[in-house]
Amino acid sequence: MATLKKALVVVSIFLAFIAWGVFFPSLTNGSILVETADLGDVAVGSSSAIPLHITNTGGSTLILYFRYENYNCNFSLPRQEIVLQPGRIVDVEIRWTPSEVGICSDILHVIYGRDLSETVLVRGRAVEAGGPDQEPDRDVNRRIVIGECDTGVVDRLYEGKLISEWIRGCAAGVKNHGQFVRCIADLTNKLRKAGSISGKDKRRLQSSAAQANIIR
């Protein structure tokens, strides 16, 4: 009888741990991968947004929470309490409407469990509206389209020009589709190295360029 009672206690404890993992997934072991969020150049008084890609690389369901370290830039805060299944990716939008010229950055804490968090650097540079780095007719909120392919990547400035303008330069400066794809590959490598786009953005741009019928 004593042995049976001991066995029942062990089973009860085991089931309790399983229930804990089901009902409190944010407290289970897990891991996430977060990328840097660089909004690039944004004209004062205008608004720009960038998707922050978060991947659950662990085997547990996670509940994500977000908190800025300083709240000194007025970056928007991603929506609270996101449930992220194992192996899944979620995009959360970070938007910025700067009120004065200058570079601003803050640390966003992505919290996914008890004493578990990752930090991501959120940054941007506010420029004068209509200045050399930002022309009034430039729409930094528009998604980049290559041919008929909507890349899903938000357009932003890189070295004084929109990414879409660099892409049009590739189309105008090559003789065939293969050269266009190679030009886009070189461009996206530079953009990724500079932190202007994420790895996922790079793949989207290269894939859309490969499928586009801009250059025959």
Decide if 4 is inside a domain.
Answer: no
Q: CATH code at 45?
A: 2.60.40.10
Same structural domain, 147 and 200: yes
Number of domains in the chain: 2
Decide if 109 is inside a domain.
Answer: yes
Same structural domain, 39 and 110: yes
Residues with Cβ within 8 Å of 35's Cβ and at least 6 positions away in sequence, in order, are 52, 53, 120, 198, 199, 200
Decide if 135 is inside a domain.
Answer: no
Closest C-alpha among 68, 62, 99, 100 to residue 82: 62
Pairing of strands 116-127, 82-84: unpaired
Distance CA 101, CA 86 (A): 41
Same structural domain, 66 and 93: yes
Domain final residue pick, 73, 94, 127: 127
Same structural domain, 36 and 123: yes
pTM: 0.49
Same structural domain, 61 and 147: no
Residue 26 is predicted with a pLDDT of 39
Decide if 202 is inside a domain.
Answer: yes
Decide if 2 is inside a domain.
Answer: no
Q: What is the pLDDT along the chain (216 residues), one digit of tens a residue?
A: 556 555 555 455 544 444 444 444 433 455 777 767 788 888 888 888 888 888 888 888 888 888 899 888 888 887 778 888 888 888 888 888 888 888 888 888 888 877 788 888 888 888 887 644 444 444 445 788 887 788 888 888 888 788 888 888 888 867 788 888 888 899 999 888 888 888 888 898 988 888 877 654
Decide if 14 is inside a domain.
Answer: no
Three-state SS at 117: strand
Domain final residue pick, 103, 127, 151: 127
Q: Do the beta carbons of residue 128 and residue 101 sit within 8 Å? A: yes
Residue 17 is predicted with a pLDDT of 44
Parent domain of 87: 32-127
Q: HSE (CB half, 13 Å, CA atoms) of 41?
A: 20
Q: Do the beta carbons of residue 84 and residue 61 sit within 8 Å? A: yes
Residue 185 is predicted with a pLDDT of 92
Same structural domain, 105 and 151: no
